[in-house]
Chain A
């Protein structure tokens, strides 16, 4: 059992959970994730670790409600428990002094990009963060990001905060202005990461994306998270989750992530019914 030590809402349907997991807290590096199972009949889902505190033995995850399991996670409060938390899994982000690095976060992907942005800043990079959200309410981690970025650009779809538009608009502006960029890291929804890859492709800027395929064991045993990179199968759980954006086959990933859409809907509907009948 893993105890939730702190829970706070960051945006509508987005929650930060701090969880007691001393072994994981000691080992976590930016870019790595955990797999959690909330309760006995629950599924296993991967979640990127936002940060960890080795002294207190805690890790933090940021969860956006999209299905049943993430809804259950969003309902957890301090003192509640998760049945299983395992990690830190995956390869850590490559951190060195690259020069100018643009870190891009789309929606809750911002929370996953944050630890890598912080590490890149610490390694002496000039860090430009571009984060996007649907509207002002959904902009997350602004304060944290401001502390680790040299430039922070915010976009919202509706223009209620920052610039109206997409994160890729800002990236394109930078490139068009002739800003020298050594590396781009993009984490967010698949269409956003795919769009970033297309923006940087012509100028061949090294671009890294963190992929989020469906996972099961997270240790390389099942191959369910296989992604096509440069025409070859790679296991996101052990070979990734970060890959060269220009080599990733995003449409295959998108197809595979929709494999259980009907089942996911059925689970969520049942969950909604159960909740309303208990209310």
Chain B
């Protein structure tokens, strides 16, 4: 196979390579970073990246690749790092992943490539995410853009939503010669990458660079368009001449807990809290106009154990919170957040109140939050999700004084598109029904993927859906 011919640039003998420990990424100290919004991880140097790349064992069956939702050819790009050709390594990743600088930062590698790496059995996995980030950042610094090499097909595709699913579809289809226009409801592009993930984990300039790259390859963008309101999918197809539409609008509406006091001032959904800070830059108030309830010197709690919960509470910490709690009803083993984020949060001094659940938000008597009544939990029998069901321990109630509470317990389907698209089948929870292989919906020419199909998941799973959709849209456009 020609691929294997180019592989194995490693010069050191295997025995020597196996002695190399996992190279850790430089990061800001916990004390320093807890007070700023700059990125926690600082990246690999060339030396660190080269040394780390040498650790790859070149497995016969590269499970890292098969476990990647977008199928990045890990072994090949890592080998190109060993060879010192970082631009070629980046180009290799780009064959399968149009947002490498983003996945290199936010992908839960432990659940995919790194989790399946054979090195894990003998110690620590290959630092695939770190290496991906290294070459993606290297590529950005060179300004290299890989333009489509095929002639234009004359087909036009509308992509609804500029989050990870939509950007992936756009990036893949433009490389195949199709004209792609991405519609975004907000005034900034990037979807959850922009409004949801904080600067300290994914800097806005990285998102901008990745989107600018797509723009350079020919993808068009239009902000301030709420598809379903500003224009419907049917109008896009019938009046604006799009041959296919991809819906990647994300998980949508935040879930609340339906417990007393949820309307008190100081109670936020994670989406609102993060959007105010990340999208509207409320942390720069009054230089920016959008306000946020001040947490400086106050105690703050987030409810939930996912990445969004940790992003919220670590944001509150950086805004000057005195105490910052994570209230999670199960134990750490069940926390859906990335392992690295949990580690970083602990280093920064976040107080994890595990096996704990709020039952009521308490008022100060003037409509403002003063605290939360909580109850301790224990794990019972496994529930439908396979995780052990948390059950309250009778008599364990206690009050936790907090001024701001952030609810991060998941999302439900946003109904805007479905309401305006007759015949688009949804499941009983309102998510769009799409074939898991082809991402086709019940309507001809309409495809969907990401959280609006699966419910809230991860950036990389949305990108995986985007990849499959792009493949199947391409086939649909060329063959009908």
Contacts and interface: CB of A to CB of B under 8 A. Distances in A.
A41 B287 contact: yes
Contacts of A43: 280, 288-291
B452 to A, nearest CB: 12
B187 A263 contact: no
Interface in B313-371: 367
Given A86-B224, A86-B230, A220 B416 contact: yes
Given A24-B230, A37-B187, A41-B287, A216 B276 contact: yes
B225 A23 contact: yes
A221 B275 contact: yes
Given A86-B225, A89-B229, A216-B275, A263 B265 contact: no
Interface residues of B, number: 41
A90 to B, nearest CB: 9
Contacts of A263: 285-286, 291
A173 to B, nearest CB: 35
Interface string A94-132: 000000000000000000000000000000000000000
A221 B271 contact: yes
A220 B250 CA distance: 12
Interface in A134-169: none
A44 B290 contact: yes
Interface string A23-64: 110010000000001000111100000000000000000000
Contacts of B415: 220, 238
Interface residues of A, number: 43
Contact of A223 (B185, B223, B254): B254
Nearest to A249: B263
B454 interface: no
Contacts of B281: 41
Nearest to A227: B263
Contacts of B269: 222-224
Q: Among the interface residues A83, A221, A255, A266, which one has the most CB atoms of the partner chain B within 10 A?
A: A221
Interface in B394-437: 414-416
Q: Among the interface residues B185, B225, B269, B289, which one has the most CB atoms of the partner chain A within 10 A?
A: B289
B231 A27 contact: yes
B306 interface: no
B299 interface: no
Interface string B226-239: 10011100000000
A226 interface: yes
A173 B376 CA distance: 57
Contacts of B229: 27, 87-89, 219
Contacts of A85: 224
B243 interface: no
Interface in A241-263: 249, 252, 255-256, 258-260, 263
A217 B186 contact: yes
B473 to A, nearest CB: 24
Given A41-B289, A220-B252, A256-B265, A89 B226 contact: yes
B226 A223 contact: no
B256 A223 contact: yes
B414 A221 contact: yes
A259 B230 CA distance: 30
Given A226-B263, A263-B285, A219 B272 contact: no
Interface in B180-196: 185-187, 195
B271 A86 contact: no
Contacts of B258: 233
Interface string B200-230: 0000000000000000000000011110011
10 contacts: A27-B229, A87-B229, A89-B229, A216-B276, A220-B252, A222-B254, A226-B262, A249-B263, A259-B265, A267-B289
Interface of B: 185-187, 195, 223-226, 229-231, 250, 252-254, 256, 258, 262-263, 265, 268-269, 271-272, 275-276, 280-281, 284-291, 293, 367, 414-416
